[in-house]
Amino acid sequence: MANADCKNIQNLIPLYLDNMLSDEENDIVRNHIASCDACKAEYELMASIMQTAASLPELNVPEGFHENLMEKVKAEAESKQERRIYARSWRKVSGFAAAAAVIAVSVVSFMQLDRENNQTNPDVYLTKPAPVSTSAPAAKDKTAEHEVQAPAQESTQPKQKKQDSAQKQNGREAAPAPAQTHQPRVEKRSKDDSSQAAVAQAEAEGAAYTPEEASRTYQVAPAPAEVSSAPKQPDSASTGGSGARTIDEFRMVSITVADSAMAEAEAILSAYGKDANGYNVGESLDAVIGQLSKLEGYQITTQISPQVSANYIVLQ
């Protein structure tokens, strides 16, 4: 037999011994070994080596090996048990915490909804009323009066509208609480007690606010395009105002804070988009006002304006 054939056959002997060749290969190797002494010797050598390997002496398990292992296993079991107990406790705690969070969010949402639906009491936005001062208001009154009187021409229209609506009301049955639709009105909110008299005067004049004015100044708002069919109610910040707002009305709120609090105020408002009208705070108006009201030097003026399509805050 050629050496090349023997070489190939000898390379197949390891798998032949395990019966891992194909049937055809098995036949070839078997037939060759039967007729070739060299390959037969090779086959016997390989078989003997494998048999010897299978008979190799084994190490005994050393003394203490198993005990040492079981100590580690028991320690692991205790640790696992502690982790289970901890995980169970944590699940309970986090479950309670999650439930509490859901309840808290629900309460806040409910309160928010309640505020938005509150149509009769804008006083909810007023800061804590400050004690009335007797001396300061006089000076402030003059300033406010001066500023209010400047656009005197414009102030006649809201007055006229009040009269018109009063006449209408006289000729009608008592109407349901009117919606405050198009008549801009001013709500003065300030921690400054000296401006309360100015507020009352400004309200009487039907003054309005524009973003260009300081928070304590009042201007008459431009006349609305159409008159609301609902009777107009006089509005006063001190009495809490009257008339409900429709959801179509949006507010422009001017807020002033002390210089030292300006950075913080800007940080609060930076979460909202800003355009020519100011910071568009949308449905978060009350929440943002709540945050800003805690800052030093906080003063607020609100105008309900048909010119804007969302709630805006202007930081002065």
Residues that bind other proteins (CB under 8 A): 11, 14-15, 18, 20, 44-46, 48-50, 52-62, 65-66, 68-70, 72-74, 76-77, 80-81
User: How far apart are the C-alpha atoms of 257 and 292, rounded to whole Å?
Assistant: 8
Answer whether 289's CB lies under 8 Å from 231's CB.
Answer: no
Min separation Cβ 86 and other proteins, Å: 16
Burial (CB count <10 Å: 0-12, 13-18, 19+), residue 306? middle
Closest CA to 130 of 301, 298, 252, 295: 298
Min separation Cβ 43 and other proteins, Å: 11
Work out whether strand 250-256 and strand 312-315 pair parallel, antiparallel, or are unpaired: parallel
User: How far apart are the C-alpha atoms of 283 and 269, rounded to whole Å?
Assistant: 13
Q: What is the largest CA-CA distance in the chain?
A: 132
What token pair was written down for 194?
């000296």
Min separation Cβ 81 and other proteins, Å: 7
| 57 vs 131 by CB, closer to other proteins | 57
| 50 vs 103 by CB, closer to other proteins | 50
* Amino acid type, 78: E
| 80 vs 92 by CB, closer to other proteins | 80
| 46 vs 262 by CB, closer to other proteins | 46
| 30 vs 142 by CB, closer to other proteins | 30
Min separation Cβ 16 and other proteins, Å: 10
What token pair was written down for 3?
């050496």
| 74 vs 92 by CB, closer to other proteins | 74
Min separation Cβ 23 and other proteins, Å: 16
- Tell me which residue has tokens 């292992």: 69
Min separation Cβ 34 and other proteins, Å: 20
